[in-house]
């Protein structure tokens, strides 16, 4: 958040809790600077949501650490769901076998940054390894290998970009229930079949994002 966004956030907080924002002008300036330092990496929309969550469960005035802590947990959760790789289809110019190449490393770093910042959804194992996805539930270990031409061809065949049917809007987000990546159908855990509908929690994630967008 920028200084201006922190001021915006504090203005909003002042509407619901008059204990937070300092009345004295000099104190207020110091407060804004301090909040901006603590919340430097936190997007304004997330901070607004975190303030709401805080007051939903606490009678104490919100502190910047309350917001930073929620952001830290979310980043950890998002990175925890990521495999530390990227979808080669998104980076056709990068040789996926060249793991030490500058472009490969840069793409990985950008992907981690985007996931941490909420700009990208974690790449799920299922979509990267469609051919072996059904084996994962069976307790057998699968050796992860970097994608190559053959993999890309198989993937393109299984998920042709243009022929993908337009489904419900929540397909645009990652499914927290079965782990399907954006644009991919939800799958039943017991037989790995693609569902015609989606998991309700995926719909919730989509709904939440729409509300977030409307508030911001
Ligand atoms: Zn699902």
Q: How distant is the alpha carbon of residue 159 from its chain centre?
A: 22
CB 151 within 8 A of CB 176: no
CB 107 within 8 A of CB 91: yes
- Separation between Cα atoms, residue 44 and residue 186, nearest integer Å: 31
Nearest C-alpha neighbor of 84 from the set 116, 61, 53, 111: 111
CA of residue 46 to ligand 1 center, whole Å: 24
- Separation between Cα atoms, residue 200 and residue 216, nearest integer Å: 24
- Separation between Cα atoms, residue 20 and residue 157, nearest integer Å: 56
Neighbours of ion ligand 1 (CB under 5 A): 175, 177-178, 180, 186, 199
CA of residue 166 to ligand 1 center, whole Å: 16
CA of residue 203 to ligand 1 center, whole Å: 9
Is the pTM for the entire model greater than 0.75? no
CA of residue 202 to ligand 1 center, whole Å: 6
Nearest C-alpha neighbor of 125 from the set 58, 65, 174: 174
Give me the half-sphere count of Cα atoms (radius 13 Å) on the Cβ side of residue 189: 7
CA of residue 15 to ligand 1 center, whole Å: 38
Question: What does the buried/exposed string (b/e) look like for 29-58 if buried means 16 or more CB atoms within 10 Å of the residue's CB?
Answer: eebbeebbebbeebbbbbbbbbbeebbeee
The H-or-E segment that residue 113 falls in is helix 102-117
In the chain, the domains with their CATH numbers are: 3-80 (1.10.8), 82-164 (no CATH)
CA of residue 47 to ligand 1 center, whole Å: 27
CA of residue 195 to ligand 1 center, whole Å: 8
Length of the chain: 216
- What's the token pair of residue 23? 């009345």
**One digit per residue, pLDDT tens: the chain, 216 residues?**
999 999 999 998 988 888 899 888 888 899 999 999 999 989 999 999 999 999 988 889 999 999 999 998 888 887 777 665 666 666 666 666 666 667 767 777 777 777 777 666 665 554 554 444 344 443 334 444 555 666 666 666 665 555 545 678 888 888 888 888 888 889 888 888 888 889 999 998 888 887 765 554
CA of residue 192 to ligand 1 center, whole Å: 11
Write the CB contacts of 147 (distance below 8 Å, at least 6 apart in sequence): 88, 96, 128, 155
């Amino acid at each position: 958040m920028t200084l201006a966004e922190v001021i915006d956030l504090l203005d909003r907080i002042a509407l619901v809790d008059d204990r937070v924002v300092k009345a004295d002008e000099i104190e207020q300036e110091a407060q804004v600077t301090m909040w901006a330092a603590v919340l430097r990496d936190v997007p304004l929309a997330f901070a607004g949501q975190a303030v709401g969550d805080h007051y939903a469960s606490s009678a104490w005035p919100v502190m910047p650490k309350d917001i930073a802590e929620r952001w830290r947990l979310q980043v950890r959760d998002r990175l925890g769901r990521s495999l530390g790789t990227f979808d080669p289809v998104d980076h056709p110019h990068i040789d996926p076998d060249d793991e030490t190449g500058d472009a490969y490393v840069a793409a990985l770093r950008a992907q981690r940054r985007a996931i941490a910042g909420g700009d990208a959804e974690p790449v799920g194992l299922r979509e990267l390894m469609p051919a072996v996805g059904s084996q994962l539930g069976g307790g057998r270990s699968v050796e992860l290998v970097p994608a190559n031409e053959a993999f890309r061809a198989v993937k393109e065949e299984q998920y042709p970009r243009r022929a993908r049917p337009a489904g419900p809007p929540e397909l645009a987000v990652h499914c927290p229930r079965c782990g399907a990546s954006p644009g991919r159908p939800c799958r039943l855990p017991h037989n790995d079949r693609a569902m015609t509908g989606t998991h309700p929690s995926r719909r919730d994630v989509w709904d939440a994002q729409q509300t977030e967008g409307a508030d911001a």
